[in-house]
Amino acid sequence: MTAVYPANVGASGGPGGPQRSGRWTRQDSSDICTDDEGPPPRRLTPLEKLNLDMCQDDKVVREMAVGRRIGFYKIRGEIGCGNFSHVKLGIHALTKKVAIKILDKTKLDQKTQKLLSREISSMEKLHHPNIIRLYEVVETLTRLHLVMEYAGGGELYTKITMEGKLSDIDCKIVFSQVLSAVKHMHDNNIIHRDLKAENVFYTCSTCVKVGDFGFSTVSRRDETLNTFCGSPPYAAPELFRDQHYTGVHVDVWALGVMLFFIVTGTMPFRAETVAKLKRCILEGAYVLPTWVPEPCQKLIRAILQTQPSERCSVEQMMACEWLQPVDFPKAVEPFKLDPLYLAESGLAELEEDEIEVRNALETLGITAEHIRNNQGKDCRSSITGVYRILLHRAHKRRAMESMPVVTHVVNGTEVKKERLKAYRSLRHTSKLCIIL
């Protein structure tokens, strides 16, 4: 049976698209657009079909009504739980898997709304291969949805809890990525304030990303803060002293606790109650197993100093003996968050990956007119969401060359393999290049 759809659905398939007289029909499971007069029938683009289904398909309409779909995203099972939210797997109908952080707007007080605004702002400012990327913000009457990069490998905390401590080389690979991400944050005056293994996520077996910026804030290195944030086992001594604190030093302490955890599989400060935990942290009382490599022991001791001014800096960590064999990942060039430049630039003005993204958008049915109509909506636009997902896909392939490389020394000689072979084998993944 042929279904006939109203003529007021734009030929572009979505709001703001050019209008033209015609009718939409579905014949033999293929979507076709026919004009009353003129050109022969043509198939709908993926975007046109999706917009049509959101209006006409009973199953899709039901999913939207019960919260199983928002915008272009199908919502599936829960994959995590944040401070004020639930994180669920999302499937973008046109592109790929995403993570969707869902917040109940009716439960957001003024303080929580401020934290949420900071979280969105922080993620928009950061451009690094080891930081979770924000794609889109979708708002309904009762909920707010933050659509983010999906890290399918799970939490670093879960991996270590289930499988035990990491090997020395894996510790270097994981910690160097986290360290590089934190340096990028601090270089942009962003303090995370909730660094912990539960907020580091695997995208594959050797690539991790820092996420959950719910407690992040903007603060210069010489500025002090006074809000207690984060998890008690990772909290720096000055937080328990109810003092004003420097954000950079608090993040550094949390890095030391995390390093201890990934190297030993246990936490440095453990107690049955928060009061006892506080005492342990204030005293700086922890015991390093003797089997931890001496250079790593030196690094942990240099970080876990109870006096903030005596802690080593992120730059000093990156230059330490234990991490000398590591080439750290680099921050990527700031990427354009608004796709408008794609519609206004000629091919000669675009980079190779930008041309790739523009072609992918056109294949989906997102035209230059869609992009122009999208101007100024930032992350609260479905067109921007698709663009950012496709741009990130291109960036991930390009960023492989900046991932950390660990050179292993055998009998005093560096043993290396051709980078090209390693990159070729990882061409369609975001794995790290480990040179042994």
What is the residue extent of each domain of the chain? 3-56, 72-149, 157-327, 340-401
What pLDDT was estimated at residue 409?
45
pLDDT tier for residue 48 given thresholds of 50, 70 and 90:
confident
Length of the chain: 436
DSSP, res 223 = -
| Active-site position among 31, 194, 251, 338 | 194
CATH fourth-level superfamily of 72-149:
Phosphorylase Kinase; domain 1 (3.30.200.20)
DSSP 422: H
421 is in an annotated binding site: no
In this prediction, residues 118-129 reach a mean pLDDT of: 90
Which residue blocks in 58-109 are alpha helix, DSSP H? 58-65
Tell me what the pLDDT averaged over the chain comes to.
80
**352-364 helix and 382-399 helix, angle to the nearest 10 degrees:** 140
Please determine, for residue 194, whether its predicted confidence score (pLDDT) is greater than 60: yes
- For 225, which DSSP code? B
State how beta strands 405-406 and 30-34 pair.
unpaired
Tokens of 50: 């999706």
Task: Report the b/e string of 245-273 with b at 16+ CB within 10 A.
Answer: bbbbbbbbbbbbbbbbbbbbeebbbeeee
Nearest Cα residue to 216 out of 330, 292, 135, 124: 124
User: What percent of the chain is modeled with pLDDT above 70?
Assistant: 81
Both structure tokens of 269: 């400060």
Are 14 and 52 contacting, i.e. CB atoms less than 8 angstroms apart? no
Q: Could you tell me the CA-to-CA distances from 170 to 5, 207, 226, 419 in Å, in that order?
A: 56, 10, 36, 19
Q: Looking at per-residue confidence, does 234 or 106 come out higher?
A: 234
Given a contact cutoff of 8 angstroms between Cβ atoms, the answer to whether 139 and 70 are in contact is: no
Element (H, E) at 277: helix 274-283
- Over residues 66-71, mean pLDDT: 81
Residues facing residue 73 across a β-bridge = 70, 92
- Note the pLDDT tens digit of each residue in 50-65: 878 778 878 888 887 7
d(CA 306, CA 174): 25
Euclidean distance between the first and the last CA atom of the chain, given in angstroms as a whole number: 62
CA distance 192 to 211: 9
Active site residue 170: no
**157-327 CATH:** 1.10.510.10
What's the CA gap between 135 and 246, in Å, rounded? 30
Q: Where are the beta strands (DSSP E) in 17-139?
A: 23-27, 30-34, 42-43, 69-70, 73-81, 86-92, 97-104, 134-139
Nearest-angstrom CA–CA distance, 218 and 315? 20
pLDDT of res. 39: 66
Burial of 111 (0-12, 13-18, 19+ CB in 10 A): exposed
Nearest-angstrom CA–CA distance, 247 and 274: 22
Angle at 420 between CA 414 and CA 425, to 5 degrees: 110
Q: Which long-range contacts (CB under 8 A, 24 or more apart) does 5-8 make?
A: 5/52, 5/56
State the residue for tokens 């993944």. 429
Q: How confident is the model at residue 265 (pLDDT cuts 50, 70, 90)?
A: very high
Q: How far apart are CA 358 and CA 325, in angstroms?
A: 39
- Residue 32 identity: I
Cβ neighbours of residue 413 closer than 8 Å, sequence gap 6 or more: none
* Structural contact between residues 52 and 61, judged by C-beta atoms closer than 8 angstroms: no
> Do residues 280 and 145 make contact, with C-beta atoms less than 8 angstroms apart?
no
For residue 26, the model assigns a pLDDT of 44
Calpha distance 86→169 (Å, rounded): 33
Position 399 scores a pLDDT of: 61
pLDDT tens-digit series, residues 233-249: 999 999 988 778 999 99
